[in-house]
Amino acid sequence: MSSVDWALQAYSSLSELGIRFLKCLERNLSLYEYVPLKVLSKSLNVKLEKVNKVAESMRKQRLIVFSASPYKGYTLTSAGLDLLAIKMLAERDIIIRVGGVIGMGKESDVYLGVTPRGNYVALKFHRLGRTSFRKTRRLRSYGLVSGGWLKQCISAARREFKALEMLYGKMNVPQPIDREYHVMVMSPISGCMLYRYRGLLTRRHFEEVVEGMKISFCNGVIHSDLSEYNLIVDDDSHILFFDFPQWVPPTHPNADLYLKRDVRNMIKFFRERDVSIPSLEDVLKVIRGA
Ligand SMILES: Nc1ncnc2c1ncn2[C@@H]1O[C@H](COP(=O)(O)OP(=O)(O)OP(=O)(O)O)[C@@H](O)[C@H]1O
Ligand SMILES: [Mg+2]
């Protein structure tokens, strides 16, 4: 079962104390690897025996993990954090249902969600650390966040949401709708991933990529993981950009490096598809408006 499956399975049986328990673990993510039982009992204002009882059932539901040494304590699992996020989104009337998986990245699971008005949204659950051996370059641009992988996931969702807020309406990106913990709610996108696109790719497509990069740059965002895997040819045959958690502002010390890498990736991809492309320097000039 996936982490979201565990969360959904536990959803309706979770008590009010259970939710407070999970929230308390989340608040303490940066302080403790395992939150001591005594701290939990005190913050929740509940006797130790009661804490243990609630914890035991949540442990069986895979929402938390117990550690016996060097002291007794609990920590959240990704299912526990998924449950908190889903619960909060539902309480705030952002979603009423979580549907099936619509995408799976190396560092995220994307699910379909349904709003109270019956519209579909995409729910991106950030999963940093799932492939912890992955190149550290991505982590570097995320900035260091203490408190383990779950904190990093929350930070990634926050960053990605911010980028979409900065860019939506100015260029073709998913509409940012909301965010709760490590889950970003956005409009669903459809079309064909650029790497899978079998139609004729032309200079016009490349120019749309460059135009998007220029608008993004002018609005303070360098994607920093741009490739044919993070672009879609949408249903209107326009290029759509997504997957922004590792973006950096043009003032970042490595901004130049990331921008050049993004441009190089795109030049390489389009050249391999026999589209005639200007030089790296010329493309950079267009993007920087210099
Ligand atoms: N708004 C959306 N609507 C529908 N599907 C989406 C949406 N966003 C992402 N997806 C799907 O989920 C997959 C993973 O998304 P995304 O690339 O943002 O995550 P990732 O884990 O950072 O990916 P990567 O594997 O590049 O690290 C995408 O390839 C796409 O198929
Ligand atoms: Mg991606």
Nearest CA-CA partner of 171 in 89, 93, 244, 78:
244
Query: How high is the pLDDT of residue 147?
Result: 58
Phi, psi values for residue 206, rounded to 5°: -60, -45
Of the candidate CATH numbers 1.10.286.10, 1.10.510.10, 3.90.380.10, 3.40.830.10, the domain formed by 191-288 belongs to 1.10.510.10
Q: How many CB atoms lie under 10 A from the CB of residue 182?
A: 27
- Reply yes or no on whether 225 is catalytic: yes
Bridge partner residues of 121 (DSSP) = 113
The rounded Å distance from CA 244 to ligand 1 centre is 10
Confidence of residue 178 (pLDDT cuts 50, 70, 90): very high
In contact, 108 and 93? CB cutoff 8 Å: no
Assess whether the C-beta atom of 188 lies below 6 angstroms from ligand 1.
Answer: yes
Taking the CA of residue 187 as reference, the ligand 1 atom at the shortest distance is 1
Assess whether the C-beta atom of 111 lies below 6 angstroms from ligand 1.
Answer: no
Distance CA 138, CA 246 (A): 6
Radius of gyration from C-alpha coordinates of the chain: 21
Share of the chain above pLDDT 70, in %: 94
Q: Which residues of 140-163 are buried (b: 16+ CB within 10 A; e: fewer)?
A: ebbeebebbbbbbbbbbbbbbbbb
Bridge partner residues of 180 (DSSP) = 183
Distance CA 160, CA 251 (A): 18
Query: How high is the pLDDT of residue 148?
Result: 85
Query: Distance between alpha carbon 283 and the CA centroid of its chain, in Å?
Result: 29
pLDDT at 100 over 80: yes
Confidence of residue 132 (pLDDT cuts 50, 70, 90): low
Domain range summary for the chain, segments of one domain joined by +: 3-80, 90-186, 191-288
CATH 1.10.10.10: does it fit domain 3-80? yes
**What's the rounded mean pLDDT across residues 217-241?**
97
Q: What is the DSSP string of 26-76?
A: HHTTTT-SSEEHHHHHHHHT--HHHHHHHHHHHHHTTSEEEE-SSS-EEEE
**Over the stretch 158-169, which tens digit does the pLDDT of each residue have?**
999 999 999 999
**Over the stretch 256-272, which tens digit does the pLDDT of each residue have?**
999 999 999 999 999 99
**Over the stretch 35-91, which tens digit does the pLDDT of each residue have?**
999 999 999 999 999 999 999 999 999 999 999 999 999 999 999 999 999 999 999
The rounded Å distance from CA 67 to ligand 1 centre is 34
Confidence of residue 137 (pLDDT cuts 50, 70, 90): very low
**What's the rounded mean pLDDT across residues 95-113?**
96
Q: Which CATH superfamily is domain 90-186 in?
A: Phosphorylase Kinase; domain 1 (3.30.200.20)
Assess whether the C-beta atom of 189 lies below 6 angstroms from ligand 1.
Answer: yes
**Closest listed ligand to the CA of 156:** 1
Assess whether the C-beta atom of 186 lies below 6 angstroms from ligand 1.
Answer: yes
Burial class (CB in 10 A: 0-12, 13-18, 19+), 164: buried
* Cα–Cα distance list, 274 to 90, 229, 279 (Å): 48, 18, 15
Supply the mean pLDDT for the chain.
93
**Closest listed ligand to the CA of 182:** 1
Q: How many CB atoms lie under 10 A from the CB of residue 191?
A: 16
Query: How high is the pLDDT of residue 131?
Result: 65
Share of the chain above pLDDT 90, in %: 91
Nearest CA-CA partner of 189 in 234, 128, 129, 252:
234
The rounded Å distance from CA 230 to ligand 2 centre is 5
Bridge partner residues of 184 (DSSP) = 124, 179
